[in-house]
């Protein structure tokens, strides 16, 4: 018999709706699931979204005050998709209410906020999840298997990057994403976190880093009332300063000696959503790019004169893929990755087991981020140490 899991969602924007759709889809996709999801209550400050949550998504109710979600007796797990500056407060309230918590990244906009959220969850003994959804791409899982099996030989080098254009327009409004007091750090939190998390999964812990940052668009139009956080202003609008970074880059050494480079940018022109990695070993190499989600580039060394990378197409022979579409080279999409991670979190809650990745993974990333921030200030290599052990700013 499956365990009923009551779901509450805080924030009904794009990601809140994506997770809600996923929980609606899970019964149709994963017959072997341990949990039976029920959409109980959703909170949002926009009345039209609350109406949509009930009328179109089937939530039993929708409220304006997110605290009502954290206190609702029918909710077993809270999904946090509110703006970044609210994450820690919502997480702490959900934990205080004894609710399991899935939080979209970043769990905290700064390392200090992530430590607070982690401490609240540990004290409450609840199951946690964090939205590092690229871990669940079928071909990323296949890449992990190739590395673990030794098919690439000894891993020597790694390249991780996340290049996006969402901030490339100088007239893009000065939303909370561009203000450190509101959203925390910039791309090192928003984008680099995904890149480093995948590296942790594929290669292992990072030991040392040295890095740099840049804010390439220093001023942006102040948003007018009602503007979305990806809205566009005009040249006549008053402007305000961008106070966090548009670009972050770092050299890194893993604990196992692998050397790496990482980059993240929200203002480059060209790459639209290039969440990508390259892994190099003594017997082969591979690369994956979100822009080509259903393809993996693989090179295996040998004596064949017709050597070179091979394109491996996704298919139902790889983890999770067959839940969505049969056969080979029939692609899946971004929200399918959300459905996979939500199904895994649902199963963890139903079984009473910790989900992976949980808040421990978020803490591992911000330990790297804290070292990177120290490197920005010192201009030197910095050791990665657990943030709780050294304190954070």
378: in domain: no
Residue 345 to residue 126: CA distance in whole angstroms: 12
Residue 132 to residue 129: CA distance in whole angstroms: 9
341: in domain: no
Are 88 and 218 members of one domain?
no
For residue range 61-91, what is the model confidence (pLDDT) as tens digits?
Answer: 999 999 999 999 999 999 999 988 899 999 9
Domain boundary among 133, 155, 187: 133
274: in domain: yes
224: in domain: yes
- CATH code of the domain covering residue 58: 3.40.50.720
Q: Number of folded domains in the chain? A: 2
For residue range 102-131, what is the model confidence (pLDDT) as tens digits?
Answer: 999 999 878 889 999 999 999 999 999 999
Q: Left if phi > 0, otherwise alpha if psi is -120 to 50, otherwise beta: which for 98?
A: left
Which structure tokens are listed for 157?
């080098």
Lowest-confidence range among 61-65, 245-249, 282-286, 307-311?
Answer: 307-311
Residue 184 pLDDT level (bands cut at 50, 70, 90): confident
Q: Which of 199, 136, 129, 137 is CA-nearest to residue 162?
A: 199
340: in domain: no
Are 146 and 159 members of one domain?
yes
Are 40 and 114 members of one domain?
yes
- The answer to whether the CB of 41 falls within 8 A of the CB of 62 is yes
Please check the confidence at residue 335 and state whether its pLDDT lies above 80: yes
Which structure tokens are listed for 136?
């669940």
8: in domain: yes
What integer pLDDT is reported at residue 176 of this predicted model?
A: 87
Lowest-confidence range among 24-28, 80-84, 169-173, 324-328?
Answer: 80-84
- CATH code of the domain covering residue 216: 3.30.360.10
What integer pLDDT is reported at residue 226 of this predicted model?
A: 57
Please check the confidence at residue 392 and state whether its pLDDT lies above 50: no
Q: Where are the alpha helices (DSSP H) in 150-291?
A: 180-183, 187-190, 192-202
Helix or strand holding residue 102 (H, E): strand 100-103
Residue 342 to residue 351: CA distance in whole angstroms: 14
For residue range 253-275, what is the model confidence (pLDDT) as tens digits?
Answer: 999 999 999 999 999 999 999 99
Q: What is the pTM of this model?
A: 0.94
Whole-number mean pLDDT of the chain?
95
| Structural domain that includes position 60 | 3-133
250: in domain: yes
- The answer to whether the CB of 316 falls within 8 A of the CB of 159 is no
Q: Left if phi > 0, otherwise alpha if psi is -120 to 50, otherwise beta: which for 167?
A: alpha
- The answer to whether the CB of 79 falls within 8 A of the CB of 7 is yes
Mean pLDDT (whole number) for 340-360: 98
Are 184 and 161 members of one domain?
yes
328: in domain: yes
Are 41 and 164 members of one domain?
no
């Amino acid at each position: 018999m499956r365990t009923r899991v009551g779901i509450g969602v805080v924030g009904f924007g794009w990601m809140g709706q994506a997770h809600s759709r996923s929980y609606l889809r899970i019964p149709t996709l994963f017959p072997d699931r341990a949990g039976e999801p029920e959409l109980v209550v959703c909170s949002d400050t926009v009345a039209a979204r609350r109406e949509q949550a009930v009328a179109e998504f089937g939530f039993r109710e929708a409220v304006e005050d997110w605290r009502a979600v954290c206190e609702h007796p029918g909710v077993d797990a809270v999904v946090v998709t509110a703006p970044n500056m609210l994450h820690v407060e919502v997480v702490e309230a959900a934990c205080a209410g004894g609710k399991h918590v899935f939080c979209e990244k970043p769990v905290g906009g700064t390392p200090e906020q992530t430590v607070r959220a982690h401490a609240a969850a540990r004290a409450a003994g609840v199951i946690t999840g964090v939205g590092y959804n690229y871990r669940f791409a079928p071909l990323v899982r296949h890449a992990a298997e190739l590395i673990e099996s030794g098919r690439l030989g000894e891993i020597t080098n790694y390249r991780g990057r996340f290049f996006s254009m969402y901030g490339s327009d100088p007239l893009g409004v000065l939303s909370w994403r561009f203000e450190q007091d509101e959203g925390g750090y910039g791309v090192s939190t928003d984008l680099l976190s995904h890149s480093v998390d995948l590296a942790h999964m594929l290669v292992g812990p990072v030991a040392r880093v040295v890095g740099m940052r840049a804010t390439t668009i220093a001023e942006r139009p102040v948003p007018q009332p009602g503007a979305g956080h990806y809205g566009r202003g005009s040249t006549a609008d008053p402007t305000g300063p961008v106070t966090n970074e548009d670009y972050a880059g770092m050299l890194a050494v893993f604990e196992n000696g692998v050397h790496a480079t990482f980059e993240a940018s929200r203002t480059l022109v060209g790459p639209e959503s290039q969440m990508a990695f390259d892994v190099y070993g003594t017997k082969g190499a591979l690369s994956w790019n979100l822009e080509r989600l259903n393809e993996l580039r693989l090179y295996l060394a040998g004596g064949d004169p017709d050597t070179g990378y091979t394109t491996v197409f996704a298919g139902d022979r790889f983890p999770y893929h067959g839940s969505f579409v049969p056969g080979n080279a029939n692609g899946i999409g971004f929200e399918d990755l959300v459905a996979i991670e939500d199904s895994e979190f649902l199963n963890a809650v139903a079984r009473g087991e910790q989900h992976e990745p949980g808040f421990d993974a978020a803490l591992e990333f911000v330990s790297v981020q804290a070292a990177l921030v120290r490197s920005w200030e010192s201009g030197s290599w910095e050791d990665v140490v657990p943030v709780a052990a050294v304190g954070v700013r």
